[in-house]
Structure 1
């Protein structure tokens, strides 16, 4: 079973990939949210179909769990072509990429997830493949090495990245269309939940969907995960119907509060507020206080706490905002009312 602290992680769990695949929309018209990206992508695909040519290469960027992989699958479905799926970390050598590219059929979609993590030699090979549909395979080593040019069938590369800033300029410039995925609002998440409940045969009331959506951190993957856990609670301890009260009780069992904070998030806030007076305090000190690694606090807890306006990163350290004090039911100290870590 998914651990409580993993329920609100936007990263996919190994045991839920099959469920995720069954919930993916199959067409652009079924995809909920991201209206600007959907409209732009529809124009790109429709134009390519009218010209009977593969569309420009597509880069999808944004935080995990927002639907980048689903859109890649939809692109292939809308074009009526096969899709080949791989990931940046899996392409370690230029030869791995060359073998993959030369096996593509005309018009096929190649999807590379986490493309910013592709090995540099393979990335340099990708430049020519994207631009000229050609690769040069090096045979031999040293002065006697020769380059054998291989023509590629025209294809469309769809790259997905959660860290667009790590993409090199030459690679980014070779994508004809770039779509940035934003977090969903609660209304859009309610639509996602209603669709998923229908596919999973879950009796979800509108108020139950609203309760789950409000705790889903703006991320469909988290919303669908919480929906399945609430379903389990409803089937075991109620009549199987997911209402607001049932969702509230179920998510209390799984330690997910009204804002979507889990055990680690609240532990970080609690340490910052109760032990260190709201800060400023270094992240290493917070990590020791909550018994976690520094990387876990920085990469798992802090991004959402900052986005939710509960924590601020400052040059002097982490600081709890008034909203954090209010969320914990406490009153923030008055300005200048007490000593700080930097007082003499």
Structure 2
């Protein structure tokens, strides 16, 4: 059974693919106690929600920041569930005009949770309306145009805004300051991803063995979304070419088919490193030039490949451009030049 077409790059993209959405809805934890990982964030959020419920008032507005695929949307739904409230979901790009936001805010019931994904991409007029709504639970609706236009204040029900962003540094100061609690999501450790995989395998009915979970977890880039996607790809392989059980050998064979190597790099990651090392001598080179060299959009290279390559210590960003580190040269089986970042300095005992 296959959950939809997948390319090599899709398998390791932290961004949500269309075919992922239905499966992700099934796999999402429903309560904080079910949420794996992010222990500090869970503890902080538990205190925020419990304190608000004891006071009988909506909790402070919450900002969830961090790379894609770590569970920001899941946490927003958990916040609503823990409060026993309804959740309204939208995204920054969908709020192009202030009227779009005003219509959504006026329909909120007291205690509702409004979740805005990619809040850093909200249009400026809508953002300015959001300031007043977050602080005073009021919006000013402008009626008419030109000199005859009038502003009518409209009270809205007290609500909790949950914003999610992958680029918290892009948020304007006035918007960021209006959030009472900011949670910074971190990449997952392999043992945490093993727990995510075990839970997902139970829900999906996959015969996942512990050693198979270890193998998938260590190639998942510290991202639950990628781990769950790889689990489904490995399940396909196990059902078609094995006896259905996901063991370490089956996982390795399946991930080799999908071009996911032992460090979690895919074809595009290796193409970027190869171009950087072999075509540009290790750099420095600009991201747009690098993207042209591998035949990809610069945004794909910058948002999908680069963050993991930097975190894996294979790529360095410098003022002059991207540079391959000694680790990248070694991963490609090549001798790094002496000036490569990360190159160990010779010792007195080196011959």
With normalisation by structure 1, the TM-score equals 0.95
Alpha-carbon distance in structure 1 between the residues aligned to 2:125 and 2:83: 30
- Give matches, 1:269-288, under 5 Å: 269-288=273-292
**2:8 aligns to what?**
4
Which secondary structure state, in structure 1, belongs to the residue aligned with residue 90 of structure 2? strand
**1:186 aligns to what?**
190
Matched, 1:111 2:115: yes
RMSD: 1.3
Q: 1:86 to 1:293 in 2, by over 3 A?
A: closer
Which secondary structure state, in structure 1, belongs to the residue aligned with residue 12 of structure 2? coil
Deviation, structure 1 residue 174: 0.8
Which secondary structure state, in structure 2, belongs to the residue aligned with residue 148 of structure 1? strand
Matched, 1:63 2:67: yes
Q: What does the per-residue CA deviation read over 1:271-321, in whole Å, with 9 as the maximum and x for residues that have no partner?
A: 222333323334344333322233332232222111110011223332211
Alpha-carbon distance in structure 2 between the residues aligned to 1:282 and 1:91: 33
Deviating more after overlay: 225-234 vs 281-290? 281-290
Matched, 1:228 2:232: yes
Q: 1:246 to 1:135 in 2, by over 3 A?
A: same
Deviation, structure 1 residue 72: 0.3
**2:345 aligns to what?**
none
Deviation, structure 1 residue 335: 4.8
With normalisation by structure 2, the TM-score equals 0.93
Aligned counterpart for 1:212 among listed residues 212, 216, 228: 216
Q: What does the per-residue CA deviation read over 1:82-139, in whole Å, with 9 as the maximum and x for residues that have no partner?
A: 1111111111111111111010011011111011111111111111111111111111
Alpha-carbon distance in structure 2 between the residues aligned to 1:297 and 1:316: 17
Aligned counterpart for 1:21 among listed residues 20, 25, 35: 25
Matched, 1:293 2:286: no
- Give matches, 1:245-260, under 5 Å: 245-260=249-264
Matched, 1:163 2:162: no
Structure 2 residue runs of 5 or longer lacking an equivalent are 341-351
Which secondary structure state, in structure 1, belongs to the residue aligned with residue 60 of structure 2? coil
Q: What does the per-residue CA deviation read over 1:183-211, in whole Å, with 9 as the maximum and x for residues that have no partner?
A: 00101101100000011010001110010
Which secondary structure state, in structure 2, belongs to the residue aligned with residue 333 of structure 1? coil
Matched, 1:32 2:36: yes
Deviation, structure 1 residue 75: 0.3
Q: What does the per-residue CA deviation read over 1:223-243, in whole Å, with 9 as the maximum and x for residues that have no partner?
A: 000000000000000000001
Which secondary structure state, in structure 1, belongs to the residue aligned with residue 322 of structure 2? strand
Alpha-carbon distance in structure 1 between the residues aligned to 2:199 and 2:32: 14
Alpha-carbon distance in structure 2 between the residues aligned to 1:78 and 1:210: 32
**1:45 aligns to what?**
49
Which secondary structure state, in structure 2, belongs to the residue aligned with residue 154 of structure 1? coil
Deviation, structure 1 residue 328: 1.3
